[in-house]
Amino acid sequence: MRIKSLLSLCLLTMVSLTFFGCSASHHAAETQKGLQGDRVTVGVVQREIKKGMSSAEVLEELGSPNVVSTDEQGREVWVYDKIATDKVYSKGGLFISTGAASTSQRTLTVVIKFDHNSKVRDYAYHSSRF
């Protein structure tokens, strides 16, 4: 009877560890998937932003800018400034207490300059990863 209880306890522990481990990784994957859809990337800027686009079209593609200002001639300048931190954790096996962690950051700054008709007259971007 004691062996049966011990086996049941081991099985329950393994199932719990598997469930919570999968649950956390599933949550992280879903969070990242959600962020991917909303994320301004170099690829999106290169593919979607074109000279002559209206400010409404830019809003549709990139969302709201972080900063809106005007230049010396009263034309709008929009700045998108994005910073992301990626953290990766790895653990040893079930009974091993070792692991590793890695952190990196990405930045993307996009500057869009409009003409007096609210059309894109120029844009530039800078991306870094460290």
Question: Does residue 33 sit in the same domain as residue 49?
Answer: no
Task: Residue 87: give the domain boundaries.
Answer: 40-129
Co-location of 34 and 44 in the same domain: no
Tell me the pLDDT tens digit for each residue of 3-56. Answer: 555 445 444 455 444 444 444 444 444 444 333 445 789 999 999 999 999 999
18 & 79 share domain: no
Do 33 and 51 lie in one domain? The reply is: no
Look at the pTM and tell me if it is higher than 0.75: no
Cα 41 from Cα 126, distance rounded (Å): 10
